Amino acid sequence: MKYKQLKKIDHEYLIQEEQRLYESRTEGMLARKRNRFRLIDAFAGAGGMTLGFSKCFGHAFDSVWANDFNNYCIDTYNANFGDHCLPGDIVDILTDPSVKIPEADVVIGGPPCQGFSLLNKNREGDPRKQLWRPYFDIVERSRAKVFVMENVPQILGSFEHGEIMGIAESMGFKVSADVLCAADYGVPQTRRRAIIIGCKDFDPAVVFPPRKTHFNPNGNGKQLTIPFNQGDYLTEPQKWKTVRDAISDLPSPEGTEIRNVPPPLDLHFGRNPTELSRKRYGTIPKEGMNRFDLQRIAPELTPPCWIRKTSGGTDLFGRLWWDRPAFTIRTEFFKPEKGRYLHPKQHRPITHREAARLQSFPDDFVFKGSKIEIAKQIGNAIPPGLAARVADVVYMLLTINER
């Protein structure tokens, strides 16, 4: 089936195909098929994106090569996907004549996003904004038919986004991009990520973005039973998953270090907060409270810098809601002063295990490194549950000729 013919396929047919694919994958049938695809993950981190594309989430993709600069991430990736993730600077690796990039069907990855992040005050001229260039070198060397690049939403519309589109199109790719909310795809977190997807054979826009599987039951402040744009959803979508869905079965954490016990309790440890921090936690006991509530109730417990900052930062020292998804889980989720990371009921920040679950990592995923390094791996990852829906799109693009 040629590209021009694909554009003529009835939209209802594509909807039905996506529905069948999603059901087949979630039932574990897709991973058992003989038709499997080779995957490369550049800037892999802990492997959250590979996890979404792999058999762990029911998909038919096998990782054959990966790279990351952080040795702890390398250890984590290799512990879960096989010993083929190379350490080191990607530029140095690609200029080493002894390194051979294997052929693959798809290249995925997230070039470091700090260069685009609103949290980076010096983002103009940040060299990390150019690391998409070696990414495309890998795409070219591997002869991939599809690529998927993920980043912060701010990349879309940037000068670099235009360059990325130009390079991809010059390589023969048709490209589509959008910002996806993880909660719309079954992740108990409202994290938003930009996805840029290119395909050589077909226009990815015919199947991207993937249709949503979950909806906000409180959209526009009204309780909803049916999504208002039904065409954006798969059949019978479910309500957004919540913090309660993800972590309510866990007991109170024990200790302050990684524990030598089976998961999930190995990463379910706490901190040893100061007495002042304990008083602050107890002063804002209700779900949804934040630093402004602390200042209103107990100004004497409020840091002077927060009192001087009269706007913004409404999630700092915030308490999660049981029956809503979490906000974005970042690398310092164990510090309430960095965001909305207080447990909905207990007077403490969330644990590593709770953060991993809110990112949709399964309990049997193996993390390597110190507790600080593991926190970075959890916070930097794309939620695997979101990546799995992007993988559905890639699978459709790679198999459309067979349908």
Residues with active-site annotation: 113
Residue 38, SS3? strand
Cα 220 from Cα 232, distance rounded (Å):
17
**φ/ψ (deg, to 5) at 220:** 60, 25
Q: Are 316 and 339 in contact (CB under 8 A)?
A: yes
Listed residue (94, 9, 2) closest to 43, CA to CA: 94
User: Which residue in the block uniquely carries the two structure tokens 């694909």?
Assistant: 6
Q: How far apart are the first and last CA of the chain?
A: 9
Residue 219, SS3? helix
Element (H, E) at 230: none
User: Which residue in the block uniquely carries the two structure tokens 């519309």?
Assistant: 157
Cα 216 from Cα 173, distance rounded (Å):
34
**Kindly report the CA angle at 392 between 148 and 187, in degrees rounded to 5?**
90
Tallying the residues shown for the chain, one arrives at 403
My answer on whether omega of the bond before 227 falls inside 30° of 0, hence cis, is no
Q: Are 138 and 42 in contact (CB under 8 A)?
A: yes
Listed residue (215, 242, 236) closest to 358, CA to CA: 242
DSSP helix, strand, coil percent of the chain (3-state; round to 5): 40, 15, 45
Retrieve residue 75's tokens: 């250890």
Cα 222 from Cα 327, distance rounded (Å):
20
